[in-house]
Structure formats: C-alpha cells, structure tokens
Structure 1
Amino acid sequence: MAERKVSRSVVIAAPASRIFDALAAPRRHPEFDGSGSVRENAHGPERLELGSRFGMSMRLGLPYRITNRVVEFEEGRLIAWRHAGPHRWRWELDPLEDGTTRVTETFDYSYAGAVVYQLLGYPARNARGIERTLPRLKRLAEEG
C-alpha cells in the first residue's frame, strides 16, 4: 500500500521556536501560504495548541470558510491540523546542530479515500503548493 503522503523539506536559517511561532499563529498563515487559497484568519485563538479550533477564509475558485482542529502538537517541533475532511496538514521541525532548522510540510491523505484524492489531483496540486509555501516560510523566518 502506498504511503499516501506528499512531503517536502527546506532548511531554514532560524531557530525552530521562531518558525513554530509563525505556524502556531493562524493570523500569520496567509503570509506564507503558497497555494493561494488561504486568505485570512476568520476566528480562533491567537496561538494554537492541541485541540484548538480555528477558521480560515479560503478561495479555491470560489470563496469559502473552513474550520480546522489541531490534532497533533509538540511545542516547537510538530503541529498538524485537519478540517471536516480526514486529511491532515503536518509541519515537523527538526533543529540542526548548526542552529538551522529542517522544516517538513506534509499533506497526509492516508486517513482519506486515496483514490478520490488522486482522481481529483490533490496530491500533485498540494505538492506544488508546498513547494511554493516552504520558500515563503523560509523568507519570513529568516527575515525575522
């Protein structure tokens, strides 16, 4: 069985805590989103933690709103959320010895009907979004 995950990584010249602070602040998500679909934080806490719910104004062809829930959380190292769909967006931060951080973003659709996701082109589309998001997050974190 296929892994059913799309992941990309980048090394960022910033401490994991700075990067995690941006990921855990939903109001900052539009600043680094490379998919072009995240518009603004609609509701939720200033800082996410396990179980937090937060809403985003989105646009994928048409505007819509979505509510997410944080389903994995380890301060400074891991955060993942999902909405009504069973797939997850996961961010893993691995601090490196030289003070940089390897950041891996994953679209994990192993919880979903993989055939439907593949037919709709989500794995390839989300890979392209991740490939545009990571450089934006890198720039944001390195510029402080």
Structure 2
Amino acid sequence: MDARVTFITLGVRDLAATRRFYVDGLGWEPAFEAPGEVMFVRVGPAVMLSLWDRAAFEAEIGATQTGPGVPPVALAHNMPDEAGVDRVIADAAAAGAEIVALPARREWGGYSGYFADPDGFRWEIAYNPGPLGVELMRDAGLA
C-alpha cells in the first residue's frame, strides 16, 4: 500500500449547516453533492474532504464516539506567511467558526491559530518556516 490519502471523511451532525459554513461562509466549491447525504470538496490535487451526514456515516462504518471534548482529529491548512494565517482565521470567524486559539508564535518556530467548524472539528491554520513547511508551500504553488 502506498503512503497516500485521497479522502478525509468527517461524519457531521447537520450537513446543511456544514455546507453553509464551508461553501457559503468560506467560499469552497463542492466537487460533488448528494443533498442531505454527502458533499465532497477538493482540498488538494488528489485529496477530497468528504463531509458525510453522520447517520449515513454510522450506518456504513459504525457508531461514532460520543461525549464531551474535542473530536479526536485535527486538520491543518498551511499558509506561506503569518499574514495569511491571520486572514484565514478572520475569514473563518466571519463564516461562523468558533476561534479556539488566536494566532500566535509557537515554540516549534511557526505561527498558528485554531478554529472549530460547526461540528467542532479543529482546523489549524499555520505558517511553518521550516524545511517541510517551505516544501509543502512550494508543492502547492504558493512559494
């Protein structure tokens, strides 16, 4: 098996609210939609974010973890500079995201902040000036 991810699937409570957040709020373009069931958004050349109605998700995969706390997953979106991090965090707040950590310089040498989408999934928005961060921005055509 190759080391590769092509879909990241999140089971969401309210697909309509999730669509409003990502499409109407953040301006992302769906690549595929089955209303009330699932929506795919291309987030990389060969990567889709799949936002799947939780009931359908559980019917196929099994019961999801419940209870208080943060879902045990975080997604990251890197930017080529600190100003880009600030801009994305502001855009997410305007779209209705809960800002859970304002952008700040981190001990690992970068700059990042976090927001939560309507289901509480955490997004890290980061500027990573290290070699791997520079490589990722170059590969994304942003450096």
Both structures adopt the same fold (TM-score exceeding 0.5): no
TM-score normalised by structure 2 residue count = 0.31
Larger radius of gyration: 2
Which gives a bigger RCO, structure 1 or 2 (Cα 8 Å, sep 6+)? 1
